[in-house]
Amino acid sequence: MTFKLTQLPYDRDALEPHISARTLDFHYGKHHKTYVEKLNQAVAGTKYEDMALEQVVRESFRKNDKPVYNNGSQAWNHTFFWDSMDPASDGTPAGSLAEKLDDQFGSLDGFRKQFKDSAVSKFGSGWTWLVADGNTLAIVSTSDADSPLTTDTTPLLTLDVWEHAYYLDYQNSRDRFVGAFLEHLINWDFAQDNLDSFETRRRLNL
């Protein structure tokens, strides 16, 4: 099996003015594409060829197969990141996720503040995630290619804080990039779907 670059769920200019088509040309069209290409090179002729991408990430992490893990995890992380954004987002969650955010962080603004603090203070390259962790929600940051896939938590949404995610549009201001994501771009329906799936699996002990 050859892993393929997933299609963006929107046009490359759909996230403007918050993320430009030029940024997506580089971020999706070059960075993400390169991770997929290098993953295919790394798995050629190995057991990983016939695995689903999530399984590749978990198994290569367990085996410490760095070239496979780094490129496989980055390929998965980026797809999850594109799905974490919605050009039509009004910035406001609803349903059980909204209730859990209020319970865990005090309010939507409380969540935004803690998420932003985590994302902006992350040293170097990595990701900031909202995850489901048992009965609670948590904000976690990971370095480089790491993700919650290798932990007992379940990712609900993510933000890429590698410099290539924002430098063309925001130069060195990660702060403004994170603010734009939180206020204008989060796909709360995607996050709610992930939470619903997590809670269903817990209920069925899967």
Q: Helix/strand/coil (H, E, C) string of 26-43? A: HHHHHHHHHHHHHHHHHH
Which amino acid, residue 165?
A
CATH 1.10.287.990 residue ranges in the chain?
21-83
Residue among 186, 190, 162 at smallest CA distance from 23? 162
pLDDT of 131 higher than 90: yes
Percentage of the chain with pLDDT > 90? 91
Residue among 120, 119, 166 at smallest CA distance from 141? 119
Strand partners, 127: 142, 160
pLDDT of 205 higher than 80: no
- Cα atoms found within 13 Å of the Cα of residue 8, Cβ hemisphere only: 17
Q: Which pLDDT score, from 0 to 100, does residue 1 have?
A: 65
Q: Is the alpha carbon torsion for 167, 170, 175, 177 positive or negative? A: negative
Contact (Cβ atoms closer than 8 angstroms) between residue 49 and residue 1: yes
pLDDT of 123 higher than 80: yes
pLDDT of 61 higher than 90: yes
Please tell us whether the domain made up of 21-83 is placed in CATH 1.10.287.990: yes
Phi and psi at residue 142, to the nearest 5°:
-125, 155
Run of H or E including 138 = strand 136-143
Which two structure tokens, joined as six digits, stand for 66?
A: 């760095």
Average model confidence (pLDDT) across the chain: 96
pLDDT of 206 higher than 80: no
CATH 3.55.40.20 residue ranges in the chain?
95-203
Which two structure tokens, joined as six digits, stand for 109?
A: 């603004």
* Mean pLDDT of the 80-101 span: 94
What superfamily does domain 95-203 belong to in CATH?
Iron/manganese superoxide dismutase, C-terminal domain (3.55.40.20)
